[in-house]
Structure 1
Amino acid sequence: MTAPVTTVVLAKAPVPGRVKTRLCPPATAEQAATLAAAALLDTLDAAAGVPGDTVVAITGSRVDAVGADELTDRLDRVGVVEQRGDGLAERIGAAHADAAALHPGRPTLQVGMDTPQVSAGLLARCAARLAAPGVDAVLGPATDGGWWVLGLNDPAAATLLTGVRMSADDTGERTVAALRDAGLTVALVETLTDVDTAEDAVEVAVRMDGGRFPAVVAGMPDVLGIRCPVVGP
């Protein structure tokens, strides 16, 4: 069995008008937030299946979130820290540091809430790759040029991302370079698609075998332009 890791979920409370704004249009702000809520809960399900503990680094008003009661219930079962720092790179570094403070001595495996198709099995494989001899970090590229997972045997190494431009079409490449320039051995894992647009939402949903996200997408055929039924759980 793979040694336990701390799975860090970097999340934004699914508040209408605050999340998945690139889905609007065709989706309304409420519909985009509903998709975001489903993606976050599916991601938390996957994280719960990885040996170790989950820490959610969150920002935004949980009271105003879509599905606030269910979200609160789920967050009560895991470690929760508030995101801190200026800009995404600093928030990522702080999330790894705060997770390491809660669970000292463990590697960190960080994901966001844009890849609801991630499974416990996939995350466990990433953790196993991180535990392989000679590997210091794992990175999962995203099809938009970014990345969807970052694993670090030394969570403090997340500060190496401070100078990396985030949310760009070369973020993944620059992240790998920053880690390798610091002497870390980086192993690449599977490439996934982030859900940023309506087209992404449909593409990801039709490839999922159950979960909240495909069920929500299936309920928005007129909005998302779905031509074929999406099978939910």
Structure 2
Amino acid sequence: MHRPPLAAVLVVAAALLTGCASGDDWSQRRPSPSAVGALGAGFTEPGRSPAPESTLTPSPGSWSGVRPSPGFRVVLLSAGGDRPAKTLAKAVKEWAKDADVDLRTVTASGDADLLPAVTRAMEMHPDLIVSAGNDLIDPLTTVSPSHLTQEFLVVGAELAEPTQNVTAVDWSGASFRGEGLGMSSTYDPASFTDARCAAAVRAGAAAVLTGHTGIVVWLDEF
């Protein structure tokens, strides 16, 4: 019977071991994530860090020089089949691909699954949970204050009273705040364009990666 050379067997075995040790296994420990690059001029006021719950209006593109370090773990938490939610989810996936982010997704199956979906996302212990969909705002308001070590990024909406671990990216055509406050009078689904949502995800991620958390990043001048 023909036997493959020992060297070939070792190569295959090494490949199998490498596959088992890939970044797909989130149970493995790895170095703490960090930002690669730096914010450009105009993201924040020189010499000043934004106060908690304040609104920051960065210059367009001032976030483009920042990306996560390799192995950054993100959960895309989404809800709703409306066009804004779908466009936001698409933007998160495209950013994750461009930035070589280790991305997983959790999608709420309906109203009764909103809070459980948030819990499922947190149980994965990602570096960042990115929320897409207005229906998730009230569940996040309920859960996030009790889990201050988990970073959240809310895109296209915001929490009425965010804690330091919740960062939002918003604009006048979005700005849903939940808690029975109703939809903003300026809400415009057409404002959730591919370009704006892409910029919102990148600007928000840059804010979190550089430690500017617990604030609202405002992108009206986009």
> What's the TM-score once normalised by structure 1's chain length?
0.34
> What's the TM-score once normalised by structure 2's chain length?
0.35
Of Structure 1 and Structure 2, the greater helix share is in: 1
The structure with the largest alpha-carbon Rg is 2
